[in-house]
Chain A
Amino acid sequence: MRTALILLLLLALAAVPGSLVPQEGRQPAQAADFRERNPNLAPLLDKLGFFDVYSSPWFAAVYLLLFISLAGCIVPRILQYVRTLRSHPPAAPKRLDRLPQHCSWTASADRGEVLLTGADLLRRRRFRVAVHMEGNGSVAAEKGYLREAGNLLFHASLFGLLIALAVGSLFGTTGQKLVLEGDSFTNTLTQYDDFSPGTLASADSLKPFSFRLKGFSATYQRSDPQRGTASSFVARLNYSTSDGGPSRDTLVEVNKPLEVDGSKVFLLGHGYAPVVTVRDGKGEIAWQGPAAFLPQDGNLTSTGVIKAPDARNRNGKRDGLGFTGLFLPTVQLDLNGWRSSFPATDDPALVLTAFHGDLGMDSGKPQNVYQLDSSRMTQFRKADGSPFAQALRPGDRMTLPGGAGSLTFDGIKQWASFQIARNPSNSMALWSSVAMGLGLCASLFVRRRRVWVRVEPTLSDRVRITVAGLDPSGTDRTAEEVAELAEELRERYPDLKNVKADVETPEPLPQEQT
């Protein structure tokens, strides 16, 4: 017990740093930021595994030791419990009057009869009863076996929970996908923006269901105090299962994921995608479509890029065009620069600056679709030499200097990002925790207690009846129970002293003695 206690405390202590230092897996951006701000501390923390506490060896060591110690405690207790269930309640101790709850009286009755009545009363109270006729004769009874059973169930379910966690991280898969309004997604590896399978999960485990984002809508609070806070996000999907059934419409909201083929589709985020048409120096369309911009703050000030790698210049030579800038659903220009003042598209604007040159998309190196690699590109400049930039309203056109081309801002679409997760051990974790809760309740609320009734012959046909109880947790309720039982027995086999007293009080009669 002491080992378990110390390991429990160690576990609590070990969990602390993970909540104070940003974790690599959960919030990589903050972790990187933390490293930058604490350049001296970061290498040390890295060595200690503080950026990934919950999968670090020392954290695993603590909880594995705890579970080993738990197993070492639980297994013998289960065996002991089975033995207890198969044996009779233990016989009465020699001195019942030493127990915390006891009472005794002398009655005129037959020994065997009292014993059988006592056993009967105890059985009616759903005690397990054993009658020992030999020696002085006693009844032993025990109740509350569920306490230990609950305790064992609770501790055993902890193992269930641990296994469920392990199975989840080994075989579960999660991935993210950003889908534009009108676009579709099919659940195959190549379609994901980001996919993190469990250690032993294979891509073949993905069921190829698909869905199309028919539309996305968000509502925001327009009045203070929480102006701009979202009130609802709804994604309208049309999905079909992998076995080729008919497609169905559904709504996915923040707390209401879509469950399909054993996977769940969660609404993760949303944003805007300005629809643009890029024309090159020849006047031909070099790129057209919506470009997803990523939100940077609560009012959806978004950044993004537009890439037209195959644009040609006036002379017909290949000279890629790249645009980078901000999309502002409700534009506001103040001292801090361009930003959005409300998340809905009340007054949208697209602020862009443009580059030309080699976008580096043919180099074979993987490229971030949301960033422009301008290392081999030249920024367009105005006549006065300052960088060329322009704010556009929907319908506006931006003409690049020197007849290099143009960009028109045709409209706005929304996008929604989804997390698609599959965890085969969810139900196991749930049932383990239900069992854990039930076991815990039983182990804390069921009282285990033993009650003995001993009947000793004294004079010719007199017996001394002793009722005693033992409750390791020492609750008042057990004392009451013992008292009630003694009372019931006393009603049947009255205390001789009291009988005398009852008779004596009204009129002192001569005693009838035989």
Chain B
Amino acid sequence: MSNTSLADQNLAQLANWLMYSAIAVYLLAFVAACAEWAFGSRGPGGRTSAGSSAEQQTPVAPSRGRTRSAVVGGASGSSTQVLAPPAAAPPEKPQVPVGDGPGAAGSSPKADLVGRIGVSLTVLALLLHSGSVLTRGLAVSRPPWGNMYEFSTAFALMASAAYVGLLAARKPVRWLGVPVLFSVLLTLGLAVSVLYVDSAQLVPALHSYWLWIHVSAAIISGGVFHTAAVVSLLYLFRDRWERAAAAGREQSRAAALLGRLPSARTLDKLAYRLTALVFPLWTFAIIAGAVWAEAAWGRYWGWDPKETWAFITWVAYAAYLHARATAGWKGRRAAVLGLVAFATFVFNYYGVNIFITGLHSYGGLPTK
């Protein structure tokens, strides 16, 4: 059966070019997002010491000074990774509610402009990216998530769409740009370099409309879980910063960047809401998978490695949701659980596909 006509090959080629363009634009957007952080506190607001850390409920805080200001964060460049202050365990103090930070740009209008440019670039990259996924789907006349390359690009699309979606819903989440774009770039980079396979038809096992339902639910869940994980990670850093700030300890310059993030409470809530929003969808993805498995293999649950790890992911997220309501587990421990849960999701994708053989071996990787 000859399946790749010339037109399809051209479309597939177009999909590849769109993908490379998307990566290039994502890269620019990433640089802009980093620059926003780097130049953020150079503005006038960065130097004024508001001093107070009064309660502030609304997430939008235009020019909220940091508790320990007068630190010009520009010198530390774009490295938001070096964050933890070299401090001992924080003393058990009743925590003062800390207000939300001003956002990545601080109060510098210039940095704000750079940040806006970054967002525009992200949107452009997202368009190119969706164009690539779409043309790839058209080139093969089927849902474009039949192998690891396609799944990765679709997953990265969802991760970046979740971020842009939050922005579109007027949530002040531009501070998410750096980590989200970082992992989107990482995923796409892996996809085009390691996981790439040419467009091709599917094996008969994947000829089913459940491919649309089951896999797209998994991809969307993944994209949102990813955003939640990034927020949880930032929560852990910010929470530590707040404790140190409350204790009045000296903090490193890099840590001062954390002052521009929303408060730990806001971050924790956001991570929880994203997870709670998408947990039913993940449940649905597993159920849809079970229904498909029943139609394809004659049993709805068989402890195939993919099924097992989907189950582990589900249980881990269930544990996270319970932990948020359990005394002694709220806060940091719950956030760590959320991160562990996302790690199991990632392992289910890369680990199970590459290292473990099972019925879900459709990666299309040349590792036979």
Which A residues are closer than 8 A to B by beta carbons?
1-2, 4-5, 8-9, 11-12, 15-16, 18-20, 23, 26, 30, 53-54, 165, 174, 219-226, 229-233, 253-257, 264, 266, 298, 419, 421, 423, 426, 429-430, 433-434, 436-437, 440-441, 444
Contacts and interface: CB of A to CB of B under 8 A. Distances in A.
B63 interface: no
A254 B210 CA distance: 13
Contacts of A257: 295, 298
Given A255-B207, A441-B280, A421 B298 contact: yes
Given A16-B312, A226-B364, A437-B287, A264 B298 contact: yes
A266 B298 contact: yes
A421 B297 CA distance: 10
A26 B298 CA distance: 13
Interface in B278-302: 279-280, 283-284, 287, 290-292, 294-302
A421 B201 contact: no
A5 B201 contact: no
B315 A11 contact: yes
B190 interface: no
Contact of A15 (B300, B315, B325): B315
B197 interface: yes
Interface string B123-148: 00000000000000000000000000
Contact of A5 (B203, B280, B287, B326): B326
Given A1-B326, A255-B207, A257-B295, A15 B311 contact: yes
A2 B329 contact: yes
Contacts of A256: 295
Contacts of A441: 280
B296 A254 contact: yes
Nearest to A13: B312
Interface in B208-224: 208, 210
Given A8-B319, A15-B312, A20-B356, A26 B1 contact: no
B159 interface: no
Given A1-B325, A53-B303, A231-B1, 15 more contacts: A2-B328, A5-B329, A12-B344, A16-B308, A19-B308, A26-B303, A219-B1, A222-B1, A226-B364, A231-B203, A232-B207, A255-B205, A264-B298, A419-B298, A434-B287
Given A254-B207, A255-B207, A429-B300, A5 B295 contact: no
B291 A221 contact: no
B273 to A, nearest CB: 9
B249 interface: no
Nearest to A8: B319
21 contacts: A12-B312, A12-B316, A15-B308, A16-B312, A174-B298, A226-B197, A229-B203, A230-B203, A253-B204, A254-B204, A257-B295, A257-B298, A264-B298, A266-B296, A266-B297, A433-B287, A433-B290, A437-B280, A437-B283, A440-B279, A440-B280
Interface of B: 1-4, 197-198, 200-201, 203-205, 207-208, 210, 276-277, 279-280, 283-284, 287, 290-292, 294-305, 308-309, 311-312, 315-316, 318-319, 322-323, 325-329, 337, 344, 352, 356-357, 364, 368
A437 B319 contact: no
Contacts of A225: 197-198, 200
B205 A426 contact: no
Contacts of B344: 12
Contacts of A220: 1
Contacts of A437: 280, 283-284, 287
B149 to A, nearest CB: 11
A259 to B, nearest CB: 10
B298 A1 contact: no
B299 A174 contact: yes
Nearest to A174: B298
Contacts of A423: 299-300
